[in-house]
């Protein structure tokens, strides 16, 4: 743990970036900053790494703000299983480090516990105290372990041919079948 | 179409932001900037809007750079059906405007056509000409229509209770069942 998060921003600067990008100072995004930092400090060697987020709530934005991995460049992958955890892994071997917010280790931080386990309605939570507790706790509320991600997250899907859908006329990847997935049954519009 | 994209950046400023956030000047992200701008100028009224991207490649980053919608704050939704299209919709009614890159309208822009339909290998594409064509074409290569998004994209999932998974011990949303989805069969690690 350094004075900056991910060797990029001080905590105050990161909070400014959170508000500019995400809209509000979401507690999960501040904790996410410490999670990204902790995972980066402990990740295996190798020049290139990808990120895997186990939730779509808040945490992906911490990765996008603090690392080169974004949703649109494909280096940030989401598999939303509802756990507040992220993994950085070497993009060819899949070997990496997983960091999660440890629900069992929050006794010393009652306001983080209230927020994370939703023990109090939102309007009864003390936001100032919550932020203070997060800044005090730093990586002390996180669990970490070495992992190897499932092969479906490793490597990159080949581009393949682009063709026009006979139903909608729009371009789509030929590997999806004889028509695009939207025309093939994935409901988007009514 | 104004001189700035989404009333936020000039095209040159936006290109700088693309490189800083996404890592490279991806042509799809530059086209995405014109798509976001075109959709914003034509979106229905209403204070709050959400975004729906029909691809996970490049386009989500244009939305994240130019609007308040990010993946982590939940206002950007992805349904990857492989079409280069985005929709901005009023978050309660689902009414919106959909903009797509019109593959059939690219005859005047051969380098965009080569890139979008992958008619040439990447190393044979003329990147400078491609960028120049995109800046010339602006919204002229886009299709637009009014839509109403499927109800599953409208409104927000209720929070609900958070419980600890009896298998992994981590916190997860109770609505997912008796154990978290990772322990319930979604393979993340090997």
Contact list, B84 vs chain A (CB under 8 Å): 170-171
Residue B90, pLDDT > 80, answer yes
The reply to whether B166 and B190 lie within a common domain is: yes
The reply to whether B111 and B28 lie within a common domain is: yes
Contact list, A101 vs chain B (CB under 8 Å): 171
Is B1 domain-assigned? no
Q: What contacts A77, CB < 8 A, 6 or more positions away?
A: A50, A51, A52, A53, A153
Beta bridge partners of B88: B51, B97
The reply to whether A167 and A113 lie within a common domain is: no
A159 min Cα distance to partner chain B (Å): 9
Is B114 domain-assigned? yes
DSSP conformational letter for A65:
H
Nearest residue in chain A measured CA to CA from B25? A73
Nearest residue in chain B measured CA to CA from A152? B188
Determine what percent of chain A is predicted with pLDDT higher than 90.
Answer: 88
Q: Supply the range of the domain harboring residue B28.
A: 11-153
Is the Cβ–Cβ distance between B85 and B143 less than 8 Å? no
Q: What contacts B173, CB < 8 A, 6 or more positions away?
A: A82, B159, B160, B161, B162, B163
Q: What contacts B9, CB < 8 A, 6 or more positions away?
A: B17, B66
Select from B62, B70, B180 the Cβ nearest to the Cβ of A61: B70
Determine what percent of chain B is predicted with pLDDT higher than 70.
Answer: 97
Contact list, A182 vs chain B (CB under 8 Å): 54, 81, 83
Determine what percent of chain A is predicted with pLDDT higher than 70.
Answer: 97
A153 min Cα distance to partner chain B (Å): 8
Please give the residue that has the higher pLDDT: either B102 or A157: B102
Q: Which among B18, B52, B170 has a CA at the least distance from the CA of A101?
A: B170
The reply to whether A112 and A177 lie within a common domain is: no
Contact A79 B180 (CB under 8 A): no
Query: Using CA atoms, how far apart are residues A78 and B148, in angstroms rounded to an integer?
Result: 26
Is A6 domain-assigned? no
The reply to whether A176 and A131 lie within a common domain is: no
Q: Which pLDDT score is estimated for A122? A: 87
The reply to whether B165 and B143 lie within a common domain is: no
Q: Write out the E strands in chain B.
A: 49-53, 76-78, 85-90, 95-101, 142-148, 162-164, 171-173
Query: Average pLDDT, stretch A150-176?
Result: 91
A3 min Cα distance to partner chain B (Å): 23
Q: Which CATH number characterizes residue B189's domain?
A: 3.30.60.80
Query: Using CA atoms, how far apart are residues A31 and A141, in angstroms rounded to an integer?
Result: 9
The reply to whether B32 and B72 lie within a common domain is: yes
Indicate the average pLDDT of chain B: 94
Is the Cβ–Cβ distance between B53 and B64 less than 8 Å? no
The CA–CA distances, whole Å, from A141 to A33, B37, B116 equal 13, 42, 46
Is the Cβ–Cβ distance between B149 and B91 less than 8 Å? no
Is A63 domain-assigned? yes
Query: Average pLDDT, stretch A21-35?
Result: 97
Residue A112, pLDDT > 90, answer yes
Q: Which CATH number characterizes residue B135's domain?
A: 3.30.1330.130
The reply to whether A123 and A167 lie within a common domain is: no
Determine what percent of chain B is predicted with pLDDT higher than 90.
Answer: 89
Contact list, B58 vs chain A (CB under 8 Å): 72-73
Please give the residue that has the higher pLDDT: either A34 or B160: A34
Is A5 domain-assigned? no
Nearest residue in chain A measured CA to CA from B163? A117
B17-71 tens-digit pLDDT: 999 999 999 999 999 999 999 999 998 777 789 999 999 999 999 999 999 999 9
B36 min Cα distance to partner chain A (Å): 14
Residue A145, pLDDT > 70, answer yes
Query: Poorest-confidence range of A172-176, B140-144, B151-155?
Result: B151-155
Is the Cβ–Cβ distance between B101 and B141 less than 8 Å? yes
The reply to whether B113 and B141 lie within a common domain is: yes
B16-27 tens-digit pLDDT: 999 999 999 999
| A&B contacts, CB < 8 Å | 179
Residue B156, pLDDT > 90, answer no
A60-100 tens-digit pLDDT: 999 999 999 999 999 999 999 999 999 999 988 999 999 99
Is A3 domain-assigned? no
Is B29 domain-assigned? yes
Residue B180, pLDDT > 90, answer yes
The reply to whether B184 and B133 lie within a common domain is: no
Is A128 domain-assigned? yes
DSSP conformational letter for A40:
H
Residue B175, pLDDT > 70, answer yes
The reply to whether A45 and A15 lie within a common domain is: yes
Query: Poorest-confidence range of A23-27, A104-108, A153-157?
Result: A153-157
Select from B22, B79, B83 the Cβ nearest to the Cβ of A73: B22
Q: Which pLDDT score is estimated for B47? A: 72
Residue A2, pLDDT > 70, answer no
Contact list, B159 vs chain A (CB under 8 Å): 118
Contact B84 A171 (CB under 8 A): yes
pLDDT band of B2, cuts 50, 70, 90: low
CB neighbour class for A28 (10 Å; exposed up to 12, middle 13-18, buried from 19) = buried
Q: Which pLDDT score is estimated for A100? A: 98
Q: Which pLDDT score is estimated for A155? A: 78
The reply to whether A178 and A100 lie within a common domain is: no
Select from A82, A186, A190 the Cβ nearest to the Cβ of B181: A82
Residue B1, pLDDT > 60, answer no
Domains of chain A: total: 2
Q: Which pLDDT score is estimated for A157? A: 67
Contact B54 A182 (CB under 8 A): yes
Beta bridge partners of A9: A5
pTM exceeds 0.80 for this model: yes
Residue A23, pLDDT > 90, answer yes
């Amino acid at each position: 743990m350094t004075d900056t998060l991910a060797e990029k921003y001080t905590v105050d600067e990161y909070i400014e970036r959170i508000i500019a990008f995400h809209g509000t100072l979401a507690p999960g995004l501040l904790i996410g900053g410490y999670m990204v930092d902790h995972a980066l400090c402990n990740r295996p060697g190798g020049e290139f790494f990808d990120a895997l987020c186990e939730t779509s709530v808040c945490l992906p934005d911490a990765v996008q703000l603090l690392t080169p991995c974004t949703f649109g460049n494909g280096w940030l992958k989401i598999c939303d299983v509802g756990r507040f955890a992220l993994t950085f892994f070497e993009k060819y071997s899949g070997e990496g480090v997983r960091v999660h917010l440890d629900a069992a280790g929050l006794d010393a931080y009652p306001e983080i516990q209230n927020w994370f386990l939703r023990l109090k309605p939102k309007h009864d939570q003390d936001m100032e105290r919550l932020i203070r507790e997060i800044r005090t706790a730093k990586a002390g509320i996180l669990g970490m372990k070495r992992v190897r991600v499932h092969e479906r997250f490793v490597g990159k899907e080949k581009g393949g041919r682009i063709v026009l859908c006979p139903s909608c006329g729009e371009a789509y990847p030929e590997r999806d079948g004889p028509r695009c997935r939207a025309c093939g049954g994935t409901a988007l519009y009514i």
